[in-house]
Every structure is written in C-alpha cells, then in structure tokens.
Amino acid sequence: MSADAPGSGHGGPAASHDVVDLIRAKRDGAALPADAVAWLIDAYTHGRVADEQMSAYLMAVVWRGMASDELDHWTSAMIASGERLDLSGLTRPTVDKHSTGGVGDKVSLVLAPLVAACGAAVPQLSGRGLGHTGGTLDKMEAIPGWRADLDPDTMRAVLADVGAVICAAGPGLAPADRRLYALRDVTGTVESIPLIASSIMSKKIAEGTSALVLDVKVGTGAFMTSLADARELARTMVGLGTRAGVRTEALLTAMDTPLGRTAGNGPEVTEAVETLRGAGPPDLVEVTVALARVMLDIVGLSGGSGARPDPAEVLASGAAYDVWRAMVAAQGGDPDAPLPSAAFTRTVPAPADGYLSRLDARALGIAAWRLGAGRARKEDPVSAAAGLRWHATVGEQVQAGAPLIELYSDDEATFPRALAALADAVSVTDEPPAPTPLVLDHIR
C-alpha cells in the first residue's frame, strides 16, 4: 500500500515514496536519504501515512537507530513542519536551557531570571510533567493569574522588556513532533535516543535561540538511569544543535537524590522563590549556578575581565528575584499572591538515628505523583498544592522519630499509595556517606 504524494498547500516534498518500502528499509537497518525522511514526516503530519504505519517505522528506529546524517534530516523535517520564531531583533544575546526531567527540578524557575539578571535573554519554552518527573509549566501555573500560552509577539515583548520568559511552545513549533510524541507514548517507542534527541532539539531549534545548554539528568529519578546512556543522549543533542547552527553544550547532573527540599508544583515555586531571595538549598544553588555559568559563557557574557558579575553573586544579591517578579507580572501572574495550600498533611518520621545515606528520587517522585502533583496522561489535571517536603537530604544527620518527609494533598485518599511508594525510599547509616558530585560531565 502506498500513501499518496503530498497535496498542494502543505509545503511538502514533491516526490512520493512507498511507506511500506520505507518501513522495510528501516527494519533492515538502512539509513533513509533526506528526500525519503522529508516525505515521511510531511505525509504523517498531514494524515497520508497511518498511525499503524508510523508506529511500525518508529519501532524499527528503536531497534535499528539512525545514522547521524539521517537524524539531521529527521530533525530538520520536524522543524520544517511548522514555523520558526525570529528573535534576531532583541538587543541581548539569546540562550535557552532544557532539562530532561527529574524530581524536585525547579532549576528553570531560578535559572531563567538569574541569567537574565546577568545580561542575556532567556526564551524558556517549557513543558508539562508526565509520570514521576515534574513539569515547569505545571509549577508556574500554581501562581494565581499566570499564563503559559503567549503568542510570539507577546513572548518577544516580554523578552525585550524583562529579559526572561517561561511559556509553552506554540502549536506552530514543530507540529510533527506533537503527533509523533503522542504516538510514541502509546506504542512503547519513547525509549530511543535518536527519537528523544530529535523531539527535544526540533522544538529548541525552532524557537530561534542562538544558544542552548542542556541539563541531562542521570540516576534513579531521571529517564536516563545510566551514565553511558545519558552521555550518548547529550552528545547526540549537542551534535544536532551544533550542526543546525545553534551553539549547544550539555551538563550531566545527578538525579539519584531529588533536588532541593520539595517536589510538587506550588511547593517547588515556594522553594524557587526562597532561592531567588538568597536562601536556597545548596544542591539547587550549585546546579543552577553551574548551568548559568555555561549559558553565559556560550554567549560571551562571562570571562576574566571582571565586567560581568558571577551568577553566584547575582543570585545571593537578590537581583534575580526582581527579574522573577517582573517576569511573573508580565505573564499575568501576581508575584505577591499566596500559593494554594493543601487541605491534608501526613508525616513520615526518620527510621533511626544516624546519617541519611539514601533518599530515592524516583520513590519521592512517584509519591508526589500519587498525591496529585503529577499526571499519568497528558490531559490529566494536577494539583497546585500537592507534593512533598523533606527536612534532610543525603549526608545530613537525622533522629529517630523526628519528621523527615511531609506529604501534602487535597484528597486524604491519596495518602496510602503515596506512603507505599516511600516505604523503601530512605536509608540511615551510622557513618555519613561519601560525598558524590552533582555535575558529572560537560559535553561541548
């Protein structure tokens, strides 16, 4: 069965291909040429290739992978399926950051205003949470009045005025990825480094930023649990960005232990604000500052001249907090409004005296999800108040019976399953564990 050639008005490639032949070719390990890739993406985006056919092709990619040139063609075709934003009129250099997702990862909320306070423009196009990892937009929507959906002109205006924006990617950016991601989610084809890399990078390249820094999480609370896999994903994305003309670097950061002291939506906003006011937890500050330094360096706003302040000093000074307030207000939010509070709480005590040697990120992420902070499907609602706060992190002393983890929910019925997720999340030892680095590698 052959799909029809693209019709007029779609802007697709003229040559037609037989989709079954393409599936067979990929099944047998062939690398598709540029015209075949462009045709396949265009035909699927406009409904001329059926879901079951693209599902078969994606599964072949999971098993066979993609050659470097082929992945470039695939990503370019996804970008070409929609529009590209033009940020060239801004007076500041543009640099964005993308995280592959973790537990307690509220870095974007602190990082965007911090880097803007240091002189760059940060077009932080973000997403929503799924499963045990949180989503930046879900967190920001805990702020009364705040809007995620901005049209391109409004986004550019906020960037020009404030220097930072956190918003949703518009429907015109890489629409092929939206269809492909939904299909991958229900066909067991998410776990493929070429498909993950092209999904992320197609949207980031299309947003028009001149530079990009990737935070690739590694550990039990991340999608990439293996350092080798995380390094391969980082190198693949850095290569895609660089070859597309976007200066791209990546940090690999640890995610066996959750970041900061909170997981959830409103709870993480509260912690982000505390950090912007100079009182953040050391691990969150360390990762945020490390990413900020790379972002500034990649656009030429750092160096030994002393003309540019160090991000750590800017964060401690509170200057980034002023940018945060302006950014929230520019997107309709009230930075002074109280955040929603949960109707019910529960407490998990420390099991013994000693040093906390393990606080499993995945277990805490699942608990927060079950309390209502996350979603199993993209269309599920989330609670702004649900989540967790832990009073100690790995390496710190705890006392038996003292409160260790607080659970927040609007529904008491969520507590049993959340507590079950935490049953084996904590270990306490007589001696403190050996310290481990937060930043594991830098891919240039």
| 247 has catalytic annotation | no
Query: What length is written for the chain?
Result: 444
Q: Of 106, 128, 184, 293, which one is the catalytic site residue? A: 184
Q: Of 17, 26, 98, 128, which one is the catalytic site residue? A: 98
Q: Of 203, 204, 261, 325, which one is the catalytic site residue? A: 203
Output the CA angle 171-172-177, nearest 5 degrees: 75
Please state, in angstroms and rounded to a whole number, the distance separating the CA atoms of residues 285 and 270. 15
Q: How many CB atoms lie within 10 A of CB 309?
A: 17
The pair of structure tokens assigned to 316 is 């401690």
Please state, in angstroms and rounded to a whole number, the distance separating the CA atoms of residues 125 and 135. 11
| 215 has catalytic annotation | no
282 Cβ contact partners less than 8 Å away, ≥ 6 residues apart: none
What does 35-68 look like in DSSP terms, one character per residue?
Answer: HHHHHHHHHHHTTSS-HHHHHHHHHHHHHH---H
| 203 has catalytic annotation | yes
The pair of structure tokens assigned to 253 is 């950061």
Distances (CA, A) of 93 to 240, 247, 418: 21, 12, 44
| 46 has catalytic annotation | no
| 199 has catalytic annotation | yes
Q: Of 177, 215, 283, 360, which one is the catalytic site residue? A: 177
Q: Of 108, 199, 210, 383, which one is the catalytic site residue? A: 199
3-state SS assignment for residue 322: helix
Helix (H) or strand (E) holding 387: strand 387-390
Question: Looking at the annotation, which residues are catalytic?
Answer: 98, 177, 184, 199, 203
